[in-house]
Structure formats: structure tokens, C-alpha cells
Structure 1
Amino acid sequence: MRVLLSTYGSRGDVEPLVGLAARLRESGAQVRVCAPPDEDFAQRLAHIDVPLVPVGPSARALTVAAPPPSSLPERAAAVIAGQLEAVTAAAEGCDVLVATGMLPAAAGALSVAEKLGIRSVSVTFQQLTLPSPGRPPLAYPGRPFPPEVTDNRVLWGLDAESINALFGAALNTNRASIGLPPVDDVRDYVIGDRPWLATDPVLDPWQESADLDVVQTGAWILPDRRPLPAGLEAFLAAGAPPVYVGFGSMPMLASEDAAQVAVEAVRAQGRRAVVARGWAGLAPVDDRGDCYVVGEVNQQALFGRVAAVVHHGGAGTTTTATRAGAPQVVVPQTADQPYWAGRVAQLGIGVALDGPTPTTESLSAALRTALAPETRVWATAVATVIRTDGAALAARLLLDASGR
């Protein structure tokens, strides 16, 4: 069986595919991944001996450039065209294509599967893109919903109109170039009849809906057996568990002095700090020995040895911290991150900050709650019920559907 996994986006869009690819390879499938040509993505895939087929520009470079919302249709057209070129070549001879990532990229990949007659599966790593009468959709940058509209079904209709306005022309122009008919509703085309939701059902419970037949597999996480760097090991052993601070693929935090604020808040609790550089390029705030800065690191191993995790609320980081039983302080910046922050607070396993710009005082107060013994008790309890077989289940579903 030959499988193509296709995405375009940040680390949170690529890392789950690493987990699925590893499980598929263990089952004897041939796998390749179409993703942005960023070095850290290629290294993660090389670690499991899966080839990266580069598509489009660097996701990090594009994100750091912070193009204006008005350029979204133009960027979407380029992303779709890149998908048609790279995915078409990579998908030749494949039995199934798994499409995820930013919506226009998924639309382009699914169009390639349609053209080649390959079975396809549409996957999301957060449920906020799936229409549900129980909650409103996320608004696209520069296209807010009318504040007087509160009916969720009406809002989801406006969401479909917005997506068509942003991506419809770009998608259908590219589809015409490969002999495919136009799509009337871009969102419905991408979601399909039976989308997959690759999130944990405890952390991210999907409410059954008559409108969608959703398959929730659990999160796709590759067990990470990489050792922690020797310097980090020495730092961890030199005192009480520190607080981890990292904001993943967020390149431009709302607070330019985020590292300074975070470290001061951690010190106010009498704790040491491990600071992850991430795409924001967080750096040491001074030369005191109570702060250790890391780059790419095994979060699964590290989160099990820290007192708390301060992060941006990405789906992957939230899930990894929850599985590790680490209390969390979530500082959401954009998109689905406020949702994950809310789930952490609702489960009692941490604190959600109100707004993307913490102060030393607000972060200190949040850390006091996160570091309280009762928060650790809840975090430990929830960790025991988080699924660990999401990628294995997804691989099995793909293999079963192909008669393997």
C-alpha cells in the first residue's frame, strides 16, 4: 500500500503526519509526505526514514513575514498551484491521499486525488473548522462576522460565503487547468462526507451532529525517544523541577518582551525556567544560572519533568503537556489557541490567560494556580485517560479500507 500525506502549515500541521507516517511504515506501507521545505520538518521525517516532498515556500519564512490579510486570496492561489504541481507528481501510483493543513492547501491536494482517481481522506487537527450548531466558526483575519448575528447556523453560512470569496476563484481556476469542474462550496468540498478529527476525545470532545459523520481517531503522536541534551539534563538535576516556557510556531508574540515577562513571573514563584527559542526566537534575559534556553527538544520527555508548562495553546503542545500530566498556563495568540486554552481551564489542568499579552503580574497569578497541588492532582488524573493510540487507529483505518 502506498500512502501520500499532504499538508501545508506550521509545525502543528506537520508533526501529526510524522506520527501517522511512522505507524503506516510499521504496518508495511510505503509513505511519503508533501509539506513545506522547512529544515526542521525534513529532519523530523528523516528521523523515521520517510521522504519529504517539498511544496511551496518555507512556512516559517511566510509566517514571519506576516503578510497582510488582504493578500490571502493571492497567497491561496499560489498555495493551490503549488499543491497541484508537487502533489500530482508525488501521488502517482498511490492508493490513498490524506489531506490536511490550511484549507486552500487541502483543497488543492484533494483536487489532485480527484483528478487521479485516488481515494482521499480529509483530516483536521482541531474541530473548530467543522460546522456545528453548538458553537460559532472562527472568523478569517480581516473578515469579522457582523456583531449582531448570534445564531450559529447563520454564522456558519457566513463562514462558507467568506471561504468561497477568499478561495473559490483560486481553487476553480487551478481545477480548470487540470480539467476538473468548478466547486460550488469550497468548505464542503474540503470537509467531505466523512472527515477525520485527529484529536483526543477527552481533551477535545466532539458533539455528535446530524450534519456531519466525523471519525475521531485520537491525536497522532509519535513516541519520542530522543535523549534530552546533556546540558539540559544537568540543569534539571541541579534543582527542583523548573517551569517550561515556549510559544512554538508563533513568530511574533503580542508582547515583544515575552521572555522577560515569563522569566520574571517564574522567578516570582521561586522557580527556575527552561525557555524554548521557537519561531519567536526567545533568548536568555540575563546571565543568571536559573534559566536554560533550548532549541528543538523532546517535549514528551521534558514535560514529564517540569513543574508547569507555559505555552501558546497549539493543539500539539496542549496535547503533549496534557499527556505528560503537567499543569499548564496557556497564553493564546490566535486561531484555535483560545479554544485549547479554554479546554485546559475547563478540565482543571491549568489556567487560560485572558488575552495574548501577559504581564508579569497576570502570569505570576496564573502560575500560582498552575503550581498549586490540586492542579497537579487534576493534571495527573486527566493524563491517565488521554488516548495514546490515535496514530495507530488512523493507520489501521487506512489499511482496512484498502483491504490490507
Structure 2
Amino acid sequence: MKTMLLFILGILLLTATEIAKVYFIMPMPGSQEAETIDFAYWIHQNSWFIRIAGWLLIAYPTYRLLAAPKRVGRKTVVLALLAVYGVVFYLFNFRFLAEKMFYQPKETVMLDLKASKIPADKVVLGLVVNGQARAYPIQFIGYHHQVRDTVGGEPVMITYCTVCRTGRVFRPLVGDKIEEFRLVGMDHFNAMFEDKTTGSWWRQVNGEAIAGPLKGQYLPGFQAEQMTLQAWTELHPETLVLQPDSTFKEQYASMEPYEKGKVKRKLTGRDSLSWKPKSWVVGVERNQAARAYDWSQLLKQKITNDSLAGTPLLLMVASDSATFHVWNRNVNGQVLHFTVDSTDSFRDRETGSVWNRHGVCTEGLLKGKKLARIPATQEYLHSWETFHPATTRYL
């Protein structure tokens, strides 16, 4: 009996280790709400030691139980439990890992607008580095989670988390070294990467190392903008555009409804109602203050005047219902107030000048002036409020 109990204890230890190694860093029931990242990292780092201990624990009992004569029932139980452990080991090491579900492109092909096959209404993450512009369709980077490129002579790491709807771009530098990263899982529903050199885990939403030797450090980032390819090319006609990798046709097809919020999956689907966990919001940070703006309300209003931490803001959603901008309403020391003028144009009350959807004044006393851009992101409400716990809501 003691031999069987020892065997069962070892099997439970081994099985629990394989499950825990994945459970705490993947979107499984109850796994993403608690503060368990340190424990998850400890399990990840020590899993081989635990496995060896478990294998040693069951080695002798397995031999004794299988070698015992006329113990068919016990032998059947032993073999069944070993089979269960084998299945768990396979599933949690070769099927349920994030890096086994989402792969980086085998080749990164960037083409100019004449050669590009990407439709103009596709939503892209736009980036400019040292005067060079690039556009990365969300449909592609959303599947890959990470795409590497060189823009303006700088190495860049374009990332996207579909569960949070967060697109971020980083310099993949740890110290002075260009680092390699792999998708390892998620924390609080946000994608998480592991660097090859130190094994530290980095949060996608802000580039922070949240576990490992480099905990507390941040990857340097670039400011990116989300809009339709049409809107981006109006600003940057010389842009290059990421093309699909033919290896991932099926995966891209499954991502096609995502950018419009038409995916029906629980994790990545949009709630069309306001202020729900899966509602879209535009998030803005100024001087350590944060505010969320409901996307449905922004769509309805088209133009929203607000102020945050002393900065007068103008939020605008274009007629394509996908492109948005946030600008500073202060022009030459004068705070302007705006109203809708016509499709994709607006007028300031103070001078009557007309401005286009790129924040450039096209008519009136301020013709030629350009509103200063304020960094902003579109994401799910649960993501914004998780990583900006002191945020306010624009109501």
C-alpha cells in the first residue's frame, strides 16, 4: 500500500507541475485574475528539478508494482496513471504553449504602395523612424504577436496582443545587445515575451520586465499610430507595407474579422455596449494622469473636446470609423474649441478656421498650422483599467 501511495504522490507531483507550468501564463479559467506571476516564473524556472524529483519518486514504486506477480488490477492502474501523465506532458509542452500556437513570419516582406496587395481599408499600426515609414496590418501582426524589422536603420519589434487589443513597438535591446524574444504566455490577459539571454519575462503592453533577473527594467519604445492604410498613406505616401506570409493563410483568414470587432470569440471579441470589459476605448496619458474614452461615444460625437492634467485635448474619429487621433488644442498659446464642420473636417470657434482629419488647418486665419499629436491607444477597457488602475472615465 505504501508503494502505491508513493507512486500516486509522484504522479500527482509530475502532473500538477506540467499543468501549473502552463496554467498560470495562459488564458485558462481563473488563471489571469490573481497576482501569480512570481509563482508562475518559479515553476517555469524549476520545472526540470521538480520533474527529476517526481521521476525519482515513482521509479522504484513503478518497478515494484509492475514486477509484482498476480497484481493485474494494480498494474492496470499504474499503467493508466502513467498514460495520463504522458498525455498531460504532451499537451502542456507541445500543444498548449503560446509559442506552439503563434509563430513569427518566416520572412518579412515590405512593399511600396504600387506593389502592395493590402486593401486601403485595412487597419494598420503605423511607424516612422528616422524619416522612414512602415505600416503593419493588424490582421497579420495580431496573429504573429511579434514581427521583427529594421526601420530607419533601427531594429524594431512590432508587437500586438489580440486579447488586450494593444499594439506596441519596441527597440529589442537589452543593455546594448539586440535581443531575441519568444512568446511565452500572458499575464492579466496581456501577451508576455521571454528574452533568450536572461529568461526574463516582458509585458507587451508597456515593455516592462515583470519576472526574472531584469525585473523592473523596460524596453525602449517607439510611438506608433493605429489607423486605416488609406489614412496612413495620406500622411506617408512613401510608406512600405507588410505583406502576408503565405505560410499562414488560414491563420490570417481567421483574423480578418478582428480589426472590425466582428470576432465572436470570448477572449478577442468586442462588446458593442459601453464600459464593458470588452468595450473598445481610447486611452490617453498625460503627466501621470490617465483617462479612457468610450469608442461608441467617440464615434457618435466625431469630435470631443476635453482636458487632462492641464492639457487641452481634441479627440477625433474619422468617417472610416477606424482612424482616430488625439491632439493638443493649444495653438500658439491659444486654446481652441472645435465643432464638426463636414465629413472629416472640423472648425475652431475662436477663429472659424477649418481643419482636416490629419489635424492640419486648411482654411482661415490659422491656415498651415498643425495640431500637436498626443499619443493615444485603442484597446479593450479591461486592459486599459488593469494597467492604469488610477484611470478616470470620460462620461
**Range into which the TM-score falls when normalised by the shorter chain:** under 0.3
Relative contact order (alpha carbons < 8 A, sep ≥ 6): 1 or 2 greater? 1
Choose 1 or 2 for highest CA Rg: 2
TM-score (norm 1): 0.24
More strand by share: 2
TM-score (norm 2): 0.24
